[in-house]
Structure formats: C-alpha cells, structure tokens
Structure 1
Amino acid sequence: MASDLKNLSVFSTDELPDVSHHRFAILVSEWNTEVTEALFDGAYKTLLEHGAKPENVIRGNVPGSYELTLASQWFAQRDDIDAIIALGCVIQGETKHNDYINHAVAQGLTNVSLKTGKPVIFGVLTPNDQQQAIDRAGGKHGNKGDEAAITAIKMIGLQQQVYSKF
C-alpha cells in the first residue's frame, strides 16, 4: 500500500517477542541528514518502547545510502548482533542516480540478509522530493524508522518461531 494512504507509524504490535536480550545495529546515512536523523530517532525510540535495552542498540554512520550494504554486512558478521536496520534517504533528482542507488542498496541488503540469515531491514526512503521525505520521517505519514524497528522485532520473533523446537 502506498504510504500516502497509510501511516508508517501505525502497525500491529500484537504478540511481539521479548527483545530485551537481543542486540540491534542501526546504520544511518549521513546524506540528507535532516531526514535520516529523524528516521534514527523513530527507530531507536520504537526499539526501546518495545523492550530493547539502550546498551543493546548500536549506531553506525555511513556517508551515504550506498554504503549501507557493506556496513550491514560488517555488522551482520558479528555474532552479538541479531538484526540490522539500515536507514537512508535517496531523493529523486534531475538524473537517474536514485534508481541505481536504490536498486543496489535494496539488492545488497537482501543479499546480506540471505547470506547471514539475519534480518537486515530496508529503511531507506525513496521519495520524489524533500517534502515527501519529511512527511515519511516523522511528518504526516509517520516515520519509516518506526516501521523499520517493528519489522526488525517481528523478524526476530519469526526467526525464533522457525528455529524453535516444538
């Protein structure tokens, strides 16, 4: 569903797993910092609201969204990290750079997740303009950071379900 029809900060929190003992890495692009800082704030607060401990949330900064892939791989290779949340914002410009970057990042994060078996969450905004980005980073459409954090929590829960012995 298009985010202009849905608030990114409204989601089901039924049956969320206990994440108090899980460790999260939140990777934040420094490009479009006004937006990515708001995404980080949303993700961090949502993790804490749902049981993550502050000392179990590690932040890593990368220069731009393209670098989220390699940084995600580095964190996913750590035994003490359970999920990675990659946050960025690539705004459509006058060239097609956003198409190449967004595709590379989406594919790269998917590959890291499949390679490591850990949830790597795509929290990258792909708006047409700055206002759309602001609207999705705590504005009228909610915060993609909130949604990314809940997705990480739910994926940890699903992973526990899949690998638990009945």
Structure 2
Amino acid sequence: MKIIENSLKSSHIKIAIVVARFNEFINKNLLDGAISTLKLVGQISYENIHTIWVPGVCEIPLTIKNLIMKKRYNGFITIGTIIKGETLHFEIISRDLNVIISNISIENNVPIISSILYLNNIQQGIDRAGAKLGNRGSDAALSLLEMINLLKNI
C-alpha cells in the first residue's frame, strides 16, 4: 500500500491572496494570519506572496479567474467576511459564493482555499480572526500548502 503524505514546506511557490475590503477590520487580521503561516510554515518568501484587494466578496471569483489566466501562481487564498443582516443579501451570497469558487478551482486544476467567513454578528468574526477561536486565515494557508504539495505528489 502506498501512502502519500505531504510536507507543508513549499518555499519556491507563488501565492495570491484575494481580500475583500468590505469588513476590512476583520479581513486584515485574517490576511496577517495567512501571510504569517505562509512565511513561517511554508517558508515562502514575502516577495512570492501577492495580496490583491477587491471591493467585496462578490468580486473575488472574477479576480481569481483572471489571476489564473496569468499562470503566475501555484495557489490562491480568498479572504472575506459576510455578516448576516436584515435582508436576503447574506443568504444569496452565502449559497452561491463557495460553489462558484470551488468550480473555478476544479475547472482550472488549481487549489483555491476559502477563508470567507459567514457570520451572524461582528463578534464571531473577531473571534475567528485571531481572538478566541484561532485565525481562519492561518488555517487557510495551512490547507493551501498541503494541497499544493498533494497535487504535486499524485
């Protein structure tokens, strides 16, 4: 039996992180967690980590699709925060966004790890961006490192 195990070190790769500006006070902490993990665990140089800011989460898929066409990156992290309000906006975006991003990943055979938080309130975002419940940006970076190495090894 062959077992494929993957290292998290990927020092010679390029990563793009697409971050929504809307709810920036939470997203900035997620971004910091992702970059820190890519540098410390993945040993990726700062020059090989590119951050692209977009207005909101709805602009993330198109941006990722265009970045993939440039063929410069080995993988992507998406960062955004959607906080439930009084309208249907939350439900519509929440339902469709992950499906769209997953489809882009599968169609282009490139790992895209989502750190888009779907929240009931601001406190949940603060807790998941480094306060009480770890940092979901850091978690996304770990998943991306593993997936890049896994795809190389299979």
TM normalised by structure 1 equals: 0.86
Q: CA deviation at 1:35?
A: 0.4
Larger relative helix fraction: 2
Matched with 1:142 is: 134
Contact 1:25 1:85 in 2 (8 A): yes
Q: In structure 2, the residue corresponding to 1:139 is in which secondary structure?
A: coil
Alpha-carbon displacement from aligned partner over 1:22-50 (angstroms, at most 9, x marks no partner): 00000100000100001100001110012
Q: CA deviation at 1:78?
A: 2.2
Amino acid at match of 1:61: W
Amino acid at match of 2:25: E
CA separation in 2, counterparts of 1:103 and 1:75? Answer: 24
Q: How many residues align?
A: 149
Amino acid at match of 1:98: F
Contact 2:6 2:150 in 1 (8 A): no
Matched with 2:122 is: 130
Contact 1:86 1:120 in 2 (8 A): yes
The answer to whether 1:19 aligns with 2:24 is: no
Matched with 1:120 is: 112
Q: CA deviation at 1:104?
A: 2.1
Moved over 3 A (4+): none
Q: 2:20 aligns with which of 6, 21, 29?
A: 29
Give percent identity, aligned residues only: 33
The answer to whether 1:103 aligns with 2:95 is: yes
Q: CA deviation at 1:123?
A: 0.8
Amino acid at match of 1:21: H
Alpha-carbon displacement from aligned partner over 1:97-142 (angstroms, at most 9, x marks no partner): 1111122220111111011100011110001100001000111001
**C-alpha RMSD over aligned residues:** 1.2
Q: In structure 2, the residue corresponding to 1:77 is in which secondary structure?
A: helix
TM normalised by structure 2 equals: 0.93
Matched with 1:46 is: 37
Alpha-carbon displacement from aligned partner over 1:61-97 (angstroms, at most 9, x marks no partner): 0100111111111112222200010000000111121
The answer to whether 1:161 aligns with 2:137 is: no
Matched with 2:69 is: 77
CA separation in 2, counterparts of 1:16 and 1:124? Answer: 25
